[in-house]
Amino acid sequence: MSLTGRLAAAPADFIRQEFLEPQFRHEVTHLMRWYVLIEKALLCEYRRLGILPAHQVEQLATALCGLTPEDVATEAGLALSDIALALEARVSKAVPDPVPAWHVDRSRNDLQACAQLLDVREQVSEIAALLDRLAEVAHERASADVTSPMPGYTHLQSAQIITPGFYLSAVVEHALSTSSRLLATYDRINFSPLGAGPMAGQELAWDRERLARAVGCAGPVPHALAAVASRAWLLDVAADVASAGVGFSRFLTDLMAWSSSGYGLVELPDELAGISAAMPQKKNYPLLERLRGRTGHLTAFYVDFATGQRNTAYSNSVEVSKEAGLHAGTMFAAMRSVLTGFTLVIDRLRWRTDKMRAACEEDHFGGFSLANELTLRSGIPWRTAQVIAGRYVSAVLAEGGCHADGGGAAALGSAAREAGHPLDDPGSYLTKSLDVDAQLHAKVSSGSTNPDSVRALLAGQRERLGALTAEWDARRGAVQEAMAATDAALRPSAGGTV
């Protein structure tokens, strides 16, 4: 098959082995069904335009439906290892007579951009499904325990008392916000490049709206140059993925610390643990390290894609269309790994409620409540109340940390007198601040760690999760309906519309 009159030689072995063949294998494996769908959409337009008669459209459609990756792969050598050319060659062999007008007024540029977009669109949908699963598991685990007190930390120091349910509802929140962001990105990028041609449009009156609907897009990219030159949609998706990875890395950092021997607040079952070959007493969690390490790749992928596009001419080029997105599939694989692994961790995580409560009772988590009490009961200025509470904690620590007896009341009374605000009954100010469970119920604002607030938060998250799931199901259903409609339009009995 002669593909060009401009060149007299086939690609050099280096070009073929280093670039063309790997790209061809990838596209045949991952993008071929999108190329086939695009070809079907184009056939419908050829028939509408009167370029191809119905019987030729039927023959080409039948050949397209019967294609396998193996069929297309056999054409690689004579098709410059290009999937579009190989597909064309294979289909041409499968029809009984030549179809001269097939692919007239067509370019690979918009076809390739569209196939890549449709693949990324599907990958985003798959990531959303994994986020949905993570949110479901985290929500279930959060709902199971909204009352067990555990230490909460700011600046890695003891801060306030929280619960497993409160913490895991933050995981749910991150999954929901990521899914919501991806949904907005999905809708923003779901526009078809078809009909843009090489860069400046095409010479036949292609109905780009019709073409877009045929491949499940909301419409065409309005500008022909932007349709083939831009890969901003890949950057948008990669930005969402990278941002999500940052959040997951932080949750994993907490679990790595809390599962360490220094904290011992959580643990994972043995099948999710590792050992030390030299120190038999150790139970390591390399899974957490692997997952956190993998989130770093997600950030790097965005930088890779952006660097690949930066300072390139705003037109179609292999540098942007192929090299700059070379690792897109790897990014999605890494994101799937992070989500699947993190969901497994959340599902199998065991909270050591005895150690969590002991840590809360041994530390000074009630300073915030104590300062509030001093101000609201005795009218002590807030900043002064903070000073008194701080001096009280320092005095108790100096005496060995015991604040549950009369020594604590004496220390508070002394600190208040030094600040010029003597208290009649210092011990009564400590009741709430020393009660671990009372610390949970003391917080009454929405979204707080109060068990009732957490339950309300989880109820709201359940509604949002249901709404997001329905939205994603609608997007998936629209794509499936479009594909089915395109197939139906190519059947002999069809009226020629999509």
pLDDT tens, position by position, 2-28: 667 777 888 899 998 999 999 999 999
> Of 79-88, 248-257, 312-321, 323-332, where does mean pLDDT reach its minimum?
79-88
Q: Which of 311, 113, 325 has the alpha carbon at shortest distance from 237? A: 325
Confidence label for 363 from pLDDT (cuts 50, 70 and 90): confident
Does residue 197 register a pLDDT over 80?
yes
| 272 and 311 belong to one structural domain | yes
What DSSP string runs through 319-388? IIIIITTTTHHHHHHHHHHHHHHHHHHHHH-EE-HHHHHHHHHHS---HHHHHHHHHHHH---HHHHHHH
Does residue 184 register a pLDDT over 80?
yes
* Identity of residue 139: H
| 199 and 160 belong to one structural domain | yes
> Of 53-62, 285-294, 336-345, 405-414, where does mean pLDDT reach its minimum?
405-414
Does residue 54 register a pLDDT over 90?
yes
| 170 and 285 belong to one structural domain | yes
Give the pLDDT confidence score for residue 233 in this predicted structure: 97
Does residue 406 register a pLDDT over 70?
no
Token duo for residue 323: 């090299």
| 282 and 425 belong to one structural domain | no
Average the pLDDT over 335-349 and give the result.
98
pLDDT tens, position by position, 202-219: 999 999 999 999 999 999
pTM: 0.93
Confidence label for 401 from pLDDT (cuts 50, 70 and 90): low
Confidence label for 405 from pLDDT (cuts 50, 70 and 90): low
Give the pLDDT confidence score for residue 277 in this predicted structure: 74
319 inside domain: yes
286 inside domain: yes
Q: CA separation (Å) from 270 to 264, 281, 282?
A: 15, 13, 12
Q: What domain range is 427 assigned to?
A: 366-442
Asked if 2 contacts 51 with a C-beta cutoff of 8 angstroms, the reply is no
| 151 and 242 belong to one structural domain | yes
CA 426 – CA 293 distance, rounded (Å): 50
CATH code, domain with 311: 1.20.200.10
3-state secondary structure of 155: coil
| 185 and 331 belong to one structural domain | yes
Does residue 107 register a pLDDT over 90?
yes
pLDDT tens, position by position, 437-457: 998 998 999 999 999 999 999
| 155 and 235 belong to one structural domain | yes
Which of 104, 138, 165 finishes a domain?
104
391 inside domain: yes
Give the pLDDT confidence score for residue 402 in this predicted structure: 56
pLDDT tens, position by position, 461-480: 999 999 999 999 999 999 99
Residues comprising the chain, all counted: 498
Token duo for residue 106: 């067509």
Does residue 496 register a pLDDT over 80?
no
326 inside domain: yes
Measured in degrees and rounded to the nearest 5, phi and psi for residue 240 equal: -65, -45
Average pLDDT of every residue of the chain = 93
- Judging by DSSP bridges, how do beta strands 150-154 and 157-162 pair with one another? antiparallel
Q: Which of 76-85, 100-109, 269-278 has the highest mean pLDDT?
A: 100-109
CA 317 – CA 331 distance, rounded (Å): 22
Confidence label for 494 from pLDDT (cuts 50, 70 and 90): low
Share of the chain above pLDDT 90, in %: 82
| 281 and 324 belong to one structural domain | yes
| 73 and 132 belong to one structural domain | no
Does residue 329 register a pLDDT over 90?
yes
58 inside domain: yes
Give the pLDDT confidence score for residue 159 in this predicted structure: 87
| 312 and 390 belong to one structural domain | no
3-state secondary structure of 107: coil
Token duo for residue 107: 């370019």
Give the pLDDT confidence score for residue 461 in this predicted structure: 98
| 122 and 58 belong to one structural domain | no
CATH code, domain with 97: 1.10.275
Q: Which of 207, 189, 45 has the alpha carbon at shortest distance from 116? A: 189
Asked if 132 contacts 472 with a C-beta cutoff of 8 angstroms, the reply is yes
Average the pLDDT over 387-414 and give the result.
81
User: Between residues 163 and 397, which one has the greater pLDDT?
Assistant: 163
The residues pairing with 327 across neighbouring beta strands, listed in sequence order, are none
Does residue 228 register a pLDDT over 90?
yes
* Identity of residue 323: E
498 inside domain: no
Each residue of 63-100: b (16+ CB within 10 Å) or e?
bbeebeeebbbebbeebbbbbbbbbbbbbbeeeeeebe
Asked if 228 contacts 263 with a C-beta cutoff of 8 angstroms, the reply is no
- What is the number of structural domains in the chain? 3
Q: CA separation (Å) from 105 to 198, 203, 375?
A: 10, 6, 79
CA 160 – CA 166 distance, rounded (Å): 12
Average the pLDDT over 125-146 and give the result.
98
Token duo for residue 263: 């904290």
Which of 104, 128, 159 finishes a domain?
104
Does residue 334 register a pLDDT over 90?
yes
| 259 and 326 belong to one structural domain | yes
Which of 83, 104, 125 finishes a domain?
104
CA 251 – CA 481 distance, rounded (Å): 39
Confidence label for 403 from pLDDT (cuts 50, 70 and 90): low
193 inside domain: yes
Q: Which of 345, 337, 299 has the alpha carbon at shortest distance from 168? A: 345
Query: What is the gyration radius of the CA atoms in the chain, in angstroms?
Result: 31
92 inside domain: yes
